[in-house]
């Protein structure tokens, strides 16, 4: 089914945009609480990691096309097609993010340029996410043309983005030492809240869904919620000595659980397609 | 601007599908693709009338293809500008520009754009434009044994048959402003009464 590649594409793009936003916030926080060099070391691998994620997303998006050689034409109708806008802003986000990550990695002196690129990339990401939302809110598709579509996409972006940033942080625990507790606690708290919001949306949009798939989605959600609750608990009690490896695994598990749950949720979203008319 | 349109007399349509077959034959459409489809609408049941139970079962047919809308949503959403509207109102897909993303198929409330897997492109009713240019009529119009399908200028058809009536299961006209006129089957109103 063509939706498989769309599930992967939309989730990867949302993950990348969310991760960029969260890493930006973390970088600022780490600069204030430690120093610019520590903040840089802490976030560079993750900022660089966003580039292959976006590249993979864009490549996967080709798989649902009947004529991939015409893919370049997807960007020509900016005037009225939200799909064209989504592609343009996604490409723009990728280029700006890559430029920023490279400068951040290379420790260039041009701080103003890095800041400008970071802000432009964050904005392009926001516009890509907005276009992606509008793309699905077709006036003829009653099941998607509701507030739940933007809500679901924002939840995916923030949930996967924050946990990706968490994975990046926990992979290098020495950089922050005991300070690691605070960002991970916030990430755990945000993840628990977002998964709760996801449960509400899944319940509200359950009508007409295949019961087996719905049960599977709710089970994955419950699993992700319990792992993220453990993460919240563990990071709140975190002591640097001896616990960092376990925490690293816990953050990774929380990320994978949330990714699995979001993939199932997105699959159900595509299955819920219901158009007016005949 | 000119606007060609179809007129369907659903009160006369017997559901024989001659229009569907003629369209498929004329355009050499592959298995699974029907630019014109005949859709059956049915309902009713048993209704108590005093001591008796009466049958209220009904069924009628609607012959449906691309309605070459005045405001075609397929053209609006197509990212590749592969769909355009001619000065005579006919909406066409340019195959060489189509990337086969199927977004138009999601958007069209009449199910008109259909994906041809072999070509990797979208296809849809082209109003038999080649035949029109040779002074002939579209295949579906010629084939209907009950003369239930007509075509012509939208304004002229409206003068003869009145404006498009809102009819179940068609979507709201305001969504895309289809260039379509219908004479509703007598049982179409019964759905709205229920």
Note whether A63 contacts B: Cβ–Cβ < 8 A: no
Domains of chain B, each with CATH number or no CATH: 4-189 (3.30.70.20)
The Cα diameter of chain B in Å comes to: 66
- Give the pLDDT confidence score for residue A75 in this predicted structure: 94
Q: Which residues from chain A sit within 8 angstroms of residue B39, using beta carbons?
A: 278
Encoded tokens for A204:
């509200």
3-class state of residue B4 by DSSP: strand
Side-chain-facing half-sphere of A220: CA atoms under 13 Å = 21
With a cut of 80, say whether residue B39 has pLDDT above it: yes
Interface of A with B in 86-105 (CB under 8 A): 87
Nearest residue in chain A measured CA to CA from B64: A278
Q: Are A74 and B64 inside 8 Å of each other by CB? A: no
3-class state of residue A56 by DSSP: helix
| pLDDT, mean of residues B19-35 | 96
Give the residue from B37, B66, B79, B94 with the most A CB atoms within 10 Å of its CB, the best one to mutate. B79
With a cut of 60, say whether residue B192 has pLDDT above it: no
The model carries a pTM of 0.92
Give the span between the Cα atoms of B127 and B116, in whole angstroms: 18
- Give the pLDDT confidence score for residue A173 in this predicted structure: 74
- Give the pLDDT confidence score for residue B186 in this predicted structure: 83
- Give the pLDDT confidence score for residue A120 in this predicted structure: 97
The 10s digit of each residue's pLDDT in B74-84 is 999 999 999 99
With a cut of 50, say whether residue B194 has pLDDT above it: no
Q: How far is A69 from chain B (nearest CA, A)?
A: 8
Tell me which residue has tokens 């035949």.
Answer: B131
The 10s digit of each residue's pLDDT in B148-179 is 999 999 999 999 998 877 777 889 989 999 99
The 10s digit of each residue's pLDDT in B86-139 is 999 999 999 999 999 999 999 999 999 999 999 999 999 999 999 999 999 999
Neighbour count for residue A106 (Cβ, 10 Å): 10
| pLDDT, mean of residues B4-30 | 95
Encoded tokens for B90:
């006919």
Q: What is the DSSP string of A69-116?
A: GGGGGGGS-TTT-HHHHHHHHHHHHHHHHHHHHHHHHHT-S-HHHHHH
Q: Are B79 and A278 inside 8 Å of each other by CB? A: no
Q: Which residues from chain A sit within 8 angstroms of residue B109, using beta carbons?
A: 140, 275-278
Neighbour count for residue B32 (Cβ, 10 Å): 9
Q: What is the DSSP string of A15-48?
A: HHHHHHHHHHHHHHHHHHHS-HHHHHHHHHHHHH
In sequence order, which residues have a C-beta less than 8 Å from that of residue A41 and are 6 or more positions away?
A172, A175
- Give the pLDDT confidence score for residue B163 in this predicted structure: 82
Question: Which residue in the set B76, B97, B171 is minimally distant from A80, CB to CB?
Answer: B76
Give the span between the Cα atoms of A171 and A42, in whole angstroms: 9
Give the span between the Cα atoms of A278 and B39, in whole angstroms: 8
Question: Which residue in the set B64, B76, B106 is minimally distant from A278, CB to CB?
Answer: B64
Give the span between the Cα atoms of B171 and B71, in whole angstroms: 14
- Give the pLDDT confidence score for residue A242 in this predicted structure: 58
Q: Which residues from chain A sit within 8 angstroms of residue B30, using beta carbons?
A: none
Note whether A1 contacts B: Cβ–Cβ < 8 A: no
Q: How many residues does chain A have?
A: 278
Q: How far is B103 from chain A (nearest CA, A)?
A: 8
Do B79 and B97 meet the contact criterion of CB atoms below 8 Å apart?
no
For chain A, give every domain's residue range.
Answer: 1-136, 154-278
Nearest residue in chain A measured CA to CA from B83: A77
Encoded tokens for A93:
């986000």
Question: Which residue in the set A66, A75, A83 is minimally distant from B77, CB to CB?
Answer: A83
Q: Are B77 and A138 inside 8 Å of each other by CB? A: yes
Alpha helices in chain A (DSSP H): 3-33, 36-61, 82-106, 111-136, 148-170, 181-204, 211-236, 240-271
C-alpha distances in Å from residue A177, one per residue of A20, A43, A183, A203, A235: 23, 15, 12, 40, 12
Nearest residue in chain A measured CA to CA from B40: A278
Do B182 and B11 meet the contact criterion of CB atoms below 8 Å apart?
no
Beta strands in chain B (DSSP E): 4-9, 37-43, 46-49, 52-55, 58-64, 83-85, 91-93, 114-116, 121-123, 149-153, 180-183
| pLDDT, mean of residues B10-15 | 93
Tell me which residue has tokens 């649902």.
Answer: A64
Q: Which residues from chain B sit within 8 angstroms of residue A76, using beta carbons?
A: 79-81
- Give the pLDDT confidence score for residue A197 in this predicted structure: 96
Consecutive 10-residue averages of pLDDT for chain A (278 residues): 88 97 93 86 90 96 94 95 97 96 84 91 98 96 95 97 91 76 91 96 88 93 94 78 75 95 95 92
DSSP character at residue B63: E
Q: Are A277 and B121 inside 8 Å of each other by CB? A: no
């Amino acid at each position: 089914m063509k939706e498989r590649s769309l599930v992967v594409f939309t989730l990867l793009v949302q993950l990348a945009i969310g991760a960029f936003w969260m890493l930006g916030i973390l970088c600022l926080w780490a600069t204030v609480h430690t120093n610019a060099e520590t903040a840089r070391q802490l976030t560079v691998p993750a900022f660089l990691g966003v580039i292959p994620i976006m590249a993979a997303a864009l490549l996967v998006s080709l798989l649902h096309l009947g004529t991939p050689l015409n893919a370049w034409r997807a960007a020509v109708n900016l005037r009225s097609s939200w799909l064209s806008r989504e592609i343009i802003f996604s490409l723009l986000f990728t280029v700006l993010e890559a430029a920023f990550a490279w400068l951040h990695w290379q420790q260039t002196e041009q701080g103003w340029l890095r800041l400008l690129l970071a802000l432009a990339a964050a904005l392009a990401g926001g516009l890509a996410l907005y276009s992606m939302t509008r793309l699905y809110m077709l006036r003829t598709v009653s099941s998607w043309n509701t507030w739940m579509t933007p809500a679901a996409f924002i939840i995916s972006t923030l949930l996967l983005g924050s946990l990706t940033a968490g994975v990046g942080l926990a992979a290098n625990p020495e950089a922050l030492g005991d300070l690691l507790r605070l960002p991970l606690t916030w990430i755990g708290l945000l993840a628990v809240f977002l998964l709760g919001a996801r449960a509400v949306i899944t319940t509200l949009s359950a009508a007409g869904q295949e019961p087996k798939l719905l049960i599977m989605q709710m089970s994955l959600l419950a699993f992700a919620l319990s792992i993220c609750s453990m993460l919240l608990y563990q990071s709140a009690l975190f002591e640097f000595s001896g616990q960092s490896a376990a925490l690293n695994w816990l953050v990774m598990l929380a990320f994978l659980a949330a990714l699995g749950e979001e993939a199932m949720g997105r699959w159900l979203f595509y299955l819920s397609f219901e158009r007016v008319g005949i | 601007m000119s606007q060609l349109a179809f007129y369907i007399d659903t009160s006369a349509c017997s559901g024989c599908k001659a229009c569907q077959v003629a369209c498929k034959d004329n355009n050499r459409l592959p298995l699974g693709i029907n630019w014109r489809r005949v859709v059956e609408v049915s309902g009713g049941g048993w209704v108590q009338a005093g001591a008796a139970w009466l049958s209220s079962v009904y069924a009628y047919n609607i012959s449906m293809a691309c309605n070459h809308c005045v405001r075609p949503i397929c053209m609006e959403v197509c990212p590749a500008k592969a769909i355009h509207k001619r000065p005579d109102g006919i909406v066409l897909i340019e195959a060489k520009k189509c990337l086969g993303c199927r977004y138009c198929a999601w958007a069209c409330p009449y199910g008109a754009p259909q994906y041809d897997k072999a070509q990797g492109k979208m296809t849809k009713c082209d109003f038999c434009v080649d035949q029109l240019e040779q002074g002939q009529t579209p295949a579906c119009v010629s084939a209907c044994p009950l003369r239930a399908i007509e075509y012509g200028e939208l304004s002229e058809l409206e003068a003869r048959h009145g404006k498009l009536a809102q009819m179940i299961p068609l979507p709201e006209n305001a969504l895309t402003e289809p260039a379509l006129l219908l004479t509703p089957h007598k049982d179409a109103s019964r759905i709205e009464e229920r």
